[in-house]
Copies of this chain bind each other. A is one copy, B any other.
Amino acid sequence: MRSVGTLYGIGVGPGDPDLITVKAAKILAAVRIVAHFRKRGAAGHAWSIARPHIPAEARELALEYPLTTEIPFTEDGYIGALSRFYSEASGNIRHLLEAGQDVALLSEGDPFFFGSFLHMYERLRGAVPIVVVPGVTGMSGCWTAAAAPIALGDDVLTVLPGTLGEDALAAKLQATDAAVIMKVGHNLPKIREALAAAGRLDEAILVERGTMEGERVVRLSEAGGATAYFSIVLLPGCKGRRIL
């Protein structure tokens, strides 16, 4: 009788390969199949981060998103295509596991904090053994790169998607001590308006490619109108009154 393999959900951290955990590095050194998501034609971001920890003899299983251009998340066609893609990809991985092989599936940042791994996890949990290895989040990498402690003492921290409407964003930004805004990209002009409406534009920091090559940290009020996909806006808490 052949035993079922284990799926390892590996958080690879924010970008610097050395910001992967010791546990993740040990698993990658031992597992013979390493799966990761990538856009068609691209190297794969999680793969690039984990690369130095993956033995040359490991098999790469690239899971390629069906679409290369960004179309609205709410489009039915887009959601349907992605859903089929995740089902097919999880089926492929399940097949390998049931053949007795262990599989590591890479995840940028932390596997349980946003990201594609969750669509696979929800399809496979209960059916196969899964071990999740938490990672340093992209936002931790960004506030470290910006030398901007994010929260202290009794701070409230709110993590917001840049996809929210301007009014909703402004209301949330007004009601929190600290904030992290993800999914910035083409939402940057709207995010800037929301910060201004909340009276907090001067506090905001834009971090592009935190802990990665090409890292850029700039006051949002001095940034241009465009930014990269791997961008995060930070509104640090840690006001003076909380420093003892």
A174 at the interface (CB under 8 A from B): no
- Number of identical protomers: 2
CA distance A19 to B149 in the complex (A): 21
A137 at the interface (CB under 8 A from B): yes
Interface size bucket, A side? Answer: 35 or more
Residues of B within 8 A of A21 (CB): 13, 18-22, 136
B156 with A172: CB separation less than 8 A = yes
A-B contact pairs, 21 of them (CB 8 A): A14-B134, A16-B23, A18-B21, A19-B22, A21-B21, A86-B244, A110-B144, A111-B144, A113-B140, A113-B143, A118-B238, A132-B147, A134-B211, A135-B136, A136-B136, A137-B137, A154-B161, A156-B161, A156-B172, A158-B158, A158-B159
A residues near B (Cβ < 8 Å) are 11, 13-14, 16-23, 25-26, 53, 73, 79, 82-83, 86, 110-115, 118-119, 121-122, 125, 132-137, 140-141, 143-144, 147-161, 163-164, 172, 175-176, 183, 211, 238, 243-244
